[in-house]
């Protein structure tokens, strides 16, 4: 098959995707940061006449990037597949039972002077990163090599909540709320204030959050299995030692450095072959295949009851005694639990086309990353809370959702304590769905030899998007310097 046709076919197939919008998720993985290892090809080409053994290389990369799909993230974290969400509060029964609103503010102790509060909220989530990566490559014999890389990330996230109050309703209620909440005796007058109040122990939305630390220590051991002047294959195995942070769920869209604290093992291969050589230029194709398995660990995640988007935020009675005295608890404080998180497998394949002319390497590439869906299991006891009514009476409303006040379906309620059972939980709402990320990248680099040493510099950019809003769509810029010694 013609090589040009093969490359075009590869790029065309990679872009065939089915868009999927996930909603009401409480956590998103943001570790899909990609800087291509262009120097592996450069080391091969510029050292092809140098005997293997006793080679070392230190490279340092600096990079930055940001997300650019706020609409997709708005739906991912929001309760419904909508661009904005209507908020109302009601204590007199005038709100549509079936929900002509998206969120009832009473669940958050949002109560105003009368029962006609109306606002529209929108989330414009933003993620950004700046950092550096240090990589040491060395080999002491002709067959085997090893590398250690340590990336350091400074991650910032912001849900960027915007609220337009359509009916102010006289401000926050001055007296006692219709529904009394544990640790929250003062009502709030807007959804912005509701989502950042201190009595909300988890799932808060309150401006920018940041985290800086090393993401991992990545150790790789490989073999020069095949190496000629036109072709090379380097299989390898390795381990990722986690140094980043785990989910604590105090804030929605919290900054996570690294892969969530998972220890991982991986294997793969670097490979490359010369496509064409003339007196003025060289065309070279290189790539990498990689499979990584991440082991489970314990994190803190927030969980929706089954069939209830944003159900984790519903007002609840923790016990029968609380129902008797009509003292509710913010649902997020009861539905956030220690869980076992299993990310399973991540598969990567990458292709790079190098065009070398006048000592410069123009590089075009594509990378696909296939991530398995996380599975979640409770690590602590479920306490069987019940969804409270919103009228301040000692009754439960097991069928109501975040956008409805009364019973929508016939079911047990009234003065009967009707708890949410463990088997009714939607554990997937706390997990990252399986997704495929596509990255296209381009760079320009130069390598030169001096006294049997190879120096290299590189600068490039990439854009990552995916088949669903569970993929963090983002752009990256990077620059790197390397020296063999």
Which pLDDT belongs to residue 99?
54
Which pLDDT belongs to residue 176?
63
Residues 6+ apart with CB under 8 A from 278: none
Which pLDDT belongs to residue 405?
63
pLDDT digits (tens, 9 = 90+) for 341-371: 999 999 999 999 999 888 788 999 999 999 9
pLDDT digits (tens, 9 = 90+) for 227-240: 777 888 999 999 99
Is the pLDDT at 8 greater than 60? The verdict is no
Is the pLDDT at 387 greater than 60? The verdict is yes
List Cα–Cα distances, 387 to 26, 390, 396, 399, in angstroms. Answer: 19, 9, 6, 8
Nearest to 281 by CA among 196, 353, 197: 353
Q: Give 324's DSSP letter.
A: H
How many residues are given for the chain? 485
CB contact at 8 A, 196 and 205: yes
280: which 2 tokens?
């003025």
The CATH architecture to which 3-484 belongs is Beta Barrel (2.40)
Q: What pLDDT band is residue 430 in, cutting at 50, 70 and 90? A: very high
Q: 250 — phi, psi (to 5°)? A: -65, -30
Which pLDDT belongs to residue 406?
53
The alpha helices in 173-217, defined as continuous H runs, are 191-194
Nearest to 30 by CA among 155, 217, 186, 185: 155
Mean pLDDT of 388-404: 85
Helix (H) / strand (E) element for 448: namely strand 435-450
Nearest to 169 by CA among 150, 186, 191, 152: 191
Q: Give 108's DSSP letter.
A: G
> For the chain, what is the mean pLDDT?
87
pLDDT digits (tens, 9 = 90+) for 80-101: 999 999 998 865 444 554 457 8
40: which 2 tokens?
């592996």
Question: What percentage of the chain exceeds 90 in pLDDT?
Answer: 64
Which pLDDT belongs to residue 138?
87
CB contact at 8 A, 264 and 249: no
Q: 76 — phi, psi (to 5°)? A: -60, -45
Is the pLDDT at 139 greater than 90? The verdict is no
pLDDT digits (tens, 9 = 90+) for 190-227: 999 999 999 999 999 999 999 999 999 999 999 988 87
Which pLDDT belongs to residue 40?
53
Q: Could you give the CA distance from residue 95 to residue 73 in angstroms, rounded to a whole number?
A: 28
Which pLDDT belongs to residue 9?
40
Q: What pLDDT band is residue 11 in, cutting at 50, 70 and 90? A: very low
Q: Could you give the CA distance from residue 459 to residue 62 in angstroms, rounded to a whole number?
A: 10
Selected residue with higher pLDDT from 137 and 123:
123
Q: What pLDDT band is residue 413 in, cutting at 50, 70 and 90? A: low
pLDDT digits (tens, 9 = 90+) for 21-64: 999 999 999 998 877 765 554 454 444 444 555 678 899 999 99
Mean pLDDT of 391-411: 72
Nearest to 397 by CA among 333, 321, 308: 308
Is the pLDDT at 143 greater than 70? The verdict is yes
Nearest to 102 by CA among 253, 391, 313, 407: 313
CB contact at 8 A, 313 and 332: yes
Q: What pLDDT band is residue 111 in, cutting at 50, 70 and 90? A: confident
Q: Could you give the CA distance from residue 120 to residue 166 in angstroms, rounded to a whole number?
A: 7
Which pLDDT belongs to residue 414?
57
Which pLDDT belongs to residue 52?
53
């Amino acid at each position: 098959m013609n090589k040009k046709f093969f490359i075009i076919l590869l790029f065309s197939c990679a872009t065939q995707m089915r868009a999927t919008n996930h909603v009401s998720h409480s956590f998103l993985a943001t570790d899909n940061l990609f800087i291509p290892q262009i120097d592996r090809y450069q080391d091969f080409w510029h050292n092809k006449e140098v005997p293997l053994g006793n080679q070392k290389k230190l490279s340092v990369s600096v990079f930055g990037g940001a997300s650019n799909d706020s609409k997709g993230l708005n739906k991912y974290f929001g309760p419904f597949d909508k661009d904005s969400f209507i908020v109302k509060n009601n204590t007199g029964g005038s709100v549509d039972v079936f929900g002509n609103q998206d969120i009832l503010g009473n669940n958050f102790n949002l109560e105003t002077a009368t029962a006609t509060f109306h606002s529209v909220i929108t989330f414009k989530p933003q993620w950004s990163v700046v950092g550096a990566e240090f990589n040491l490559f060395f080999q002491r014999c002709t067959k085997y090599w090893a590398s250690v890389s340590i990336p350091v990330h400074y991650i910032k996230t912001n849900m960027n909540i915007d609220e337009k109050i359509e009916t102010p309703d006289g401000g926050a209620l001055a007296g006692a709320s219709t529904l009394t909440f544990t640790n929250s005796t003062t009502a709030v007058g807007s959804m912005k204030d509701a989502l950042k109040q201190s009595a909300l122990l988890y799932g808060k939305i309150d401006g920018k959050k940041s985290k800086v630390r090393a993401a991992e220590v990545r150790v790789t051991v490989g073999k020069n299995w095949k190496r000629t002047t036109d072709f090379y294959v380097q299989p390898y195995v390795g381990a990722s030692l986690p140094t980043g942070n785990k989910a604590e769920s105090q804030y929605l869209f919290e900054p996570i450095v690294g892969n969530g604290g998972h220890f991982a093992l991986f294997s793969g291969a670097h490979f490359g072959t010369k496509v064409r050589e003339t007196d003025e230029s060289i065309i070279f194709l290189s790539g990498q295949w990689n499979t990584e398995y991440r082991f489970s660990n314990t994190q803190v995640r927030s969980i929706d009851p089954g069939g209830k988007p944003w159900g984790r935020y519903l007002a609840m009675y923790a016990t029968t005694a609380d129902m008797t005295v009509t003292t509710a608890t913010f649902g997020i404080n009861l539905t956030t639990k220690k869980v076992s998180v299993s990310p399973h497998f991540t598969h990567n394949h990458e292709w790079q086309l190098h065009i070398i002319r006048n000592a410069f390497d123009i590089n075009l590439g594509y990378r696909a990353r296939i991530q398995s869906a996380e599975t979640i299991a409770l690590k602590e006891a479920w306490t069987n809370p019940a969804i409270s009514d919103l009228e301040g009476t000692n009754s439960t409303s097991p069928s109501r959702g975040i956008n409805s006040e009364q019973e929508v379906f016939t079911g047990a309620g009234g003065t009967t304590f009707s708890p949410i059972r463990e088997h009714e939980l939607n554990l997937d709402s706390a997990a990252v769905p399986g997704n495929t990320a596509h990255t296209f990248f381009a760079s320009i680099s130069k390598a030169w030899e001096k006294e049997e040493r190879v120096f290299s510099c590189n600068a490039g950019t990439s854009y990552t998007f995916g088949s669903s809003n569970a993929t963090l769509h983002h752009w990256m810029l990077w620059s790197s310097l390397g020296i063999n010694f």
